[in-house]
Structure 1
Amino acid sequence: MTSTAVTFTSLGLAPELLQALDELQFAAPTPVQEQVIPMALAGQDVVGQAPTGSGKTAAYGLSVLHQVDVKLDAMQILVLVPARELALQVRDALKKLGKFLPNLRVAAFYGGHAFRDEAASLQQAPHIVVATPGRLLDHFERRTIIPNQLKVLILDEADKLLELGFQDELVEIVKRLPRRRQTLLFSATMSDKVVELIRKNLTRPRVVNAGEDTDELPENLTLLGHTGPVEKKPAALLHILQKPETGRALIFCNTRERCTELARFLQGRGVAAEVLHGKMPQPERDKSLMKLRNGSSQVLVATDVAARGIDVTELDTVVQYDVPDKADAFQHRAGRTARAGAEGTAHILATEKEQALVKKWPVAAGIQWKAMHAPKLPPAAPKAPRPENVTLHVSAGRKDKVSAHDLVGTFVAHGGLEREAVGHIEVFDHYSYVAVPRPQAQEVAQRVTGAKIKGRKVRVSLVE
């Protein structure tokens, strides 16, 4: 059978999954889905070398959703991921794919917020758990999650799990899982450590190679390099951000301290900038991402670990303010824009010494280099800029059975907004964020406060 003839129906997936795929407008399987799904459905262990954007989440997601028994009140599928944002992204993807499986429960567990919140949500065992290793071990230690009914273990972004130092946690987790299980492992690169992890934990795995994450960038991505002394970087960055075509931007720094320092500098020069790094509490991280997604901010200044797995659609520009140590970090950063066929631009600011390092990386061969343009800096502004939209915090979320549709209805009926004026909405477990036009925000917050959504009175406040 030729690859063009393969359809999701011909892969033998359950009707409920085909219905979800149709609603999500997934026309045909990607190469990695086409190869992984039949092997996984046959119960084989699978190793997938698959880069970002290859469709690997749906490849393993569809495979395990096909196998889950929604009548069995126990964790049956475990997905281990390296970062909190990726845990949330995978959980949401699995929920969408499993939308028509009755009473399916998918949960994400990760550090950075109160353990008691997660423990409370485990009164009914989730069928699928997506977790970071440290937090999952906490649950195992306290016996809030018991893995004795586990069918499938998935190690997603295995290279990053190891790179972030989770080797010991992985060993401890695997010890506690049933020996009779299926294991699927996905990694962008196949380092010696990843190969050793495969050897120890998978049984006669089938190998799928959908390309390595280190030697390709999207064709519609423009790479621009700016060379000059380190002291010119702030002015050069500001010049890039002030261009109309820059749009929404993600800026990478190598340390948390640099992120905070750079965001303050940008705010002082009239740029609506937010910070994202690994030591921020989860609600603060959610808020920073939300403001970029809904247009309340123009710029997010982030570290590599914090940006791992974040999903910001319509991201126009990436700027690598600090040069990374390795080619794969450069590739991962640059690849956050120009996704899913969109166009994007990735800039890198480098000293001559840093430029010499970057030029050794094959993935960076397409960079168009020029001298840094660093106009004289304007004096610091007394206040940060005020974007057109502002974000409102609503004191109800997914655990209160609240949906984006409910929020739109409430903001129209009680807040007095036109439906088109209600901007980007994001619903979290215990709260939600709604973007509204700045001039009406205060009045809308007052009007909606006290309104009932799904029988619960809500409080609404401005997020600044």
Structure 2
Amino acid sequence: MSDAPNTPAPAAPDFATLGLAEPLRQALQELGYTQPTAIQQLVIPLVLEGQDIAGQAPTGSGKTAAYGLPLLQKLDLQLDAVQVIVLVPARELALQGRDELKRLGKYLPGLRVAAFYGGHGFQEETKSLRQAPHVLVATPGRLFDHLDRRTFIPNKLQLLVIDETDKLLDLKFQEALANIVQRLPRRRQTLLFSATMPDKVLELVRRNLTRPRHVQAGSEGESLPESLTLLGQFGPAEKKPAALFHLLQKPETGRALIFCNTRQRCEELARFLSSRGVAAEALHGKMPQPERDKALLKLRNGSALALVATDVAARGIDVQDLDTVVQFEVPDKADTFQHRAGRTARAGATGTAHVLATPAEQQQVLRWQMPKAVSWQPLHAPSLPPAEKTIRPTTVTLHVSAGRKEKVSAHDLVGALVNVAGLQREDVGRIEVFDHYSYITVPREAGKAVQQSMSGARIKGQKVRVTEVR
């Protein structure tokens, strides 16, 4: 037996040892982030050193905080100019990224973060540039419009982040990206992140990054969490709706995200589920932004049990603790299949991803080389039960006709629900405040009473209307 003293194991890195400032660590502590993820350990010090980075990480790995924390630390908050641009492929990701950066920078005095994206007022964005945001999270098309019309000049830009690069290229944003990069200062730091690194992404790295450091968290091609259970059923296409309905009735299914390949099928399936008593919403790229906000909110707060979506939601949806993903149709590519499945079981949580396949679709999945195998069984499609036996959500979502621009906050809405509507504070569910309207979640049995008592009430001097979101 050796007399040598035991050598203590090296301490796991924390956010302080990565070089992050106290205001950022304070926000992290408040958000419950105690230990950096693998991608955060790799990326944060390199960004602080000024390195260009080409990063690859699986879904749910904490990538936004990996680049967001150091870029927030590098800002000059006294400088009234856009210093960082983050490019993302979809408006949901722009809003999600903006909100995440605001949460991470909560204790940075005077921080301004904005989201620019298609589908809402260009002039409203232009007006916001009068006091320029320090960080701009944008979709390529809308950002190019601003650069082309010279509504802002990015001459103070220090850092460019290209996020979800493989998805940006899949959506044919190559030309927009090239036009944007041509208009940016050459002396800048560039960070590129992608779930996969096909040749077209590597070519973008070669053209736009200077001596980049390549970092990867997880094994090559890995985008399925360890805590994910992957189940498949195969059978005739006409039995799929009944099989899906049966699956959604199981209590363990919980909140479900259901993927279809086309907008038409997405709408048809949402109507079918609703007609059978399932609280289901549709989400696709042609919906107006308020309708998309509403659909996502209802899934997040539990007043919808299922969201039927096209791939616009595959990377842009912001739902914590999503229990189940169902692929009602099989996509063309293996990486899309994996990205869909990876929407559940994020950050170590457990989750289940189902695929409902015809025999031909099953053979397509079996041909793909994936880090996890699908466990297959014949399609289980019993007769549809009477609608009254279906699961109903225990909450409803109410629309309030006032938001940020009317100086209304979540705290104001809670006060009104307690003092005007007579709810107990613990009965107030999720609240989300947008520019000119807000959504609140209340118990289903209290929904009508809340509408009656709050309609016509004043919040911050603003007379409001309250209606149920259907």
TM-score (norm 2): 0.94
Q: Is this contact kept in 1: 2:224–2:371, CA < 8 A?
A: no
Distance 1:119 1:442, change over 3 A: farther
Q: Secondary structure at the match of 1:362?
A: coil
Match of 1:270 in 2: 277
CA distance in 2, matches of 1:377, 1:11: 55
Q: Are the counterparts in 2 of residues 52 and 213 from structure 1 also a CA contact under 8 Å?
A: no
The AA in structure 1 aligned to 2:292 is: R
**Residue 97, structure 1, aligned to residue 104, structure 2:** yes
Partner of 1:354: 361
Moved more, 362-371 or 415-424: 362-371
Aligned-partner Cα distance in 2 for 1:378–1:120: 54
Q: Is the 8 A contact 1:227 1:372 kept in 2?
A: yes
Aligned length: 463
Query: 1:3 offset after TM fit, Å?
Result: 7.2
- Rounded to whole Å, the distance in 2 between the matches of 1:242 and 1:13 is 46
Number of the residue aligned with 2:402: 396
> CA offset at residue 212 of structure 1?
5.5
For residues 137 and 146 of structure 2, the distance between their equivalents in structure 1, rounded to whole angstroms, comes to 13
Residue 279 of structure 1: CA displacement? 0.6
Query: 2:165, 2:10 → 1: CA distance?
Result: 28
Distance 1:289 1:3, change over 3 A: farther
The answer on 1:297 being equivalent to 2:323 is no
Aligned partner of 2:52 in structure 1 is: 45
Q: 2:127 aligns with which of 108, 120, 131?
A: 120
Could you tell me which residue of structure 1 aligns to residue 26 of structure 2? Answer: 19
Asked if structure 2 preserves the Cα contact closer than 8 Å seen for 1:86 and 1:310, the reply is: yes
Deviations 1:394-433 (A, max 9, x none): 1222344433222211211111111111111112232210
Q: Is the 8 A contact 1:276 1:307 kept in 2?
A: no
Partner-residue secondary structure (3-state), 2:278: coil
2:451 to 432, 445, 457: 445
Whichever residue aligns with residue 211 of structure 1, its letter is G
Equivalent residue for 2:3? none
Pair 3,424 (structure 1): closer, same or farther in 2 beyond 3 Å = farther
Post-superposition offset of 1:69 = 1.1
The Cα shift of 1:200 comes to 0.9
Alignment-derived partner of residue 458 in structure 1:
464
Work out the CA distance in 2 between the residues paired with 1:268 and 1:54: 37
Hey, what's the Cα distance between the residues in 1 that align with 2:14 and 2:303? 40
1:246 to 235, 253, 267: 253
**Could you tell me which residue of structure 2 aligns to residue 28 of structure 1?**
35
- Look up the SS of the partner of 2:373 in the other structure: coil
Q: How does 1:379-418 map to 2 (within 5 A)?
A: 387-418=393-424
Distance in 1 of aligned mates of 2:124 and 2:392 = 34
* Structure 2 CA distance for aligned equivalents of residues 5 and 226 of structure 1: 42
Q: Does 1:207 align with 2:214?
A: yes
SS of corresponding position for 2:325: strand
The AA in structure 1 aligned to 2:144 is L
1:235: which partner in 2?
Answer: 242
Q: One-letter code of the match for 1:376? A: S
Q: Distance in 1 between matches of 2:293 and 2:174?
A: 27
Deviates most, 304-313 or 453-462: 453-462
Q: CA deviation at 1:216?
A: 4.5
Match of 1:166 among 158, 167, 173: 173
Matches for 1:68-87 after TM superposition, within 5 Å: 68-87=75-94
1:5 Cα deviation after fit: 4.0
Q: For 2:151, what is the secondary structure of its paired residue? A: coil
**CA-based RMSD:** 2.1
> Are the equivalent residues in 2 in contact too, given 1:20–1:100 (CA < 8 A)?
yes
What code does the residue aligned with 2:42 have? Q
CA change 1:137–1:315 in 2 (3 A) is same
1-side partners of 2:32 and 2:220: how far apart? 26
1:267 and 1:385 in contact (8 A); partners too: no
Helix, strand or coil at the partner of 1:208? strand
Letter in 2 for 1:311: D
TM-superposition CA deviations, 1:220-262 (whole Å, max 9, x none): 2221111111111111111111122211111100000000011
Is the Cα contact below 8 Å between 2:255 and 2:323 reproduced in 1? yes
Name the CA distance, whole Å, in 2 between partners of 1:5 and 1:334.
Answer: 30
Name the SS for the 1:390 alignment partner.
Answer: strand
C-alpha distance in structure 2 between counterparts of 1:387 and 1:373, whole Å: 24
- 8 Å contact from structure 1 (residues 48, 185) kept in 2: yes
The 1:185–1:365 alpha-carbon spacing in structure 2 relative to 1, beyond 3 Å, is: closer
Partner of 1:136: 143
Maintained 8 Å contact 2:224/2:372: no
Report deviation, 1:385: 7.7
Q: Distance in 2 between matches of 1:401 and 1:190?
A: 44
Kindly provide the amino acid, as one letter, of the partner of residue 159 in structure 1.
D
TM-score (norm 1): 0.95
152-161 or 242-251, which moves further after superposition?
Answer: 242-251
Task: For residue 113 of structure 1, give the secondary structure of its aligned residue in structure 2.
Answer: coil
